[in-house]
Amino acid sequence: MELSTSDLSTSAFTSAPLKVNLNEHEAEVRVQVRSIIGATGKSARLAYADRRRDQRYPFPNLLYLTPVDRQGEPLVEQTVVVVGKTLTERGLDFYHQQPITHRRVIVTVETPNGYAASFLVDLTWCRYTKQGWYDNGGRFLNTAPCPFPDGIPVL
């Protein structure tokens, strides 16, 4: 199904940022992210330095992105697979081929050795690349239960 800009409600994009006490959940998120970085092997541990506050780790893994509705419920039937770009202890960025119409999503990460974790993410930016993909990123708000009660699906 193709979407045009007239199909997209502006209210989905202009909703106020979610008020979350990040300090309350920061330690739990950092533990999960460090576990993922450690589980992906040596190449992911090669962080590179730049002017940003946090170290970024290359993270070219497939991720499951599940939109979350305004009541905080995951919309599992709208789950898509996106391609990870980089990961930090505060957030991540990734590539995808279609516009994402929700501001809040659950990102589920599965490493090659079977470790999996899910995070509630507030998407804060998006760029359209000249190659026709979207480069999107956001900050971790909290860890989240896996939105797939019967295990991670094959999409």
- Taken in order of first residue, the domains within the chain and their CATH numbers are 21-144 (2.40.10)
Residue 33: the pLDDT is 81
pTM, entire model: 0.72
pLDDT at 112: 75
Q: What share of the chain is helix, strand, coil (3-state, %, to 5)?
A: 20, 35, 45
Determine the pLDDT at residue 51.
58
Q: How many CB atoms lie within 10 A of CB 121?
A: 25
**pLDDT in the model for residue 20:** 54
CA gap 73, 143 in Å, rounded: 14
What per-residue confidence (pLDDT) applies to 21? 57
List Cβ neighbours of 44 (8 Å cut-off, separation of 6 or more): 37, 57, 58, 59, 87
Residues of the chain where predicted confidence (pLDDT) is lower than 50: 1-16, 42, 44-45
The C-alpha angle with vertex 134 and arms to 1 and 20, in degrees rounded to 5, equals 100
